[in-house]
Amino acid sequence: MNSDFKSRLKKIEAVLQKNLPGSPYTALWKHNAFGKIDKAVCSQHIEALTEPCRILIESGGKRWRPLFMILCAEAASERKKNKTELIKQAYSLCPLVEFVHTASLIHDDIEDNADMRRGKPAAHISWGIDTALNAASWLYFQASACLTGIAPALKIKLYDALTAELRRLHLGQAMDISWHKNNAALPTVREYLAMTSLKTGTLASLSARCGILAGGGSPEKAGQAALYAADIGVAFQIQDDIINLTRGNVGKKRGDDIVEGKKSLPVLYHLQEHPEDLKKLMSYFECAAREGIDSPAVEKAVNLLLGGNAVQRALKQSTDLIEASCTRIQKLYPGTTAVRLITELFSGLQKC
How far apart CA 30 and CA 49 sit, in angstroms, is 12
Average per-residue pLDDT for the chain: 93
Q: Is 63 left (phi over 0), alpha (psi -120 to 50) or beta?
A: left
User: What's the CATH superfamily of 3-349?
Assistant: Farnesyl Diphosphate Synthase (1.10.600.10)
User: For residue 12, what pLDDT is reported?
Assistant: 97
Contact status, residue 201 vs residue 68, Cβ threshold 8 Å: no
User: For residue 1, what pLDDT is reported?
Assistant: 57
DSSP for 280-305?
HHHHHHHHHHHH-TT-HHHHHHHHHH
Q: What is the pTM of this model?
A: 0.92
User: For residue 131, what pLDDT is reported?
Assistant: 97
Domain ranges (residues) in the chain = 3-349
How far apart CA 83 and CA 80 sit, in angstroms, is 5
User: For residue 253, what pLDDT is reported?
Assistant: 76
Residues of the chain under the 50 pLDDT cut: 352
User: For residue 350, what pLDDT is reported?
Assistant: 57
User: For residue 352, what pLDDT is reported?
Assistant: 43
Residue 35, SS3 per DSSP: coil
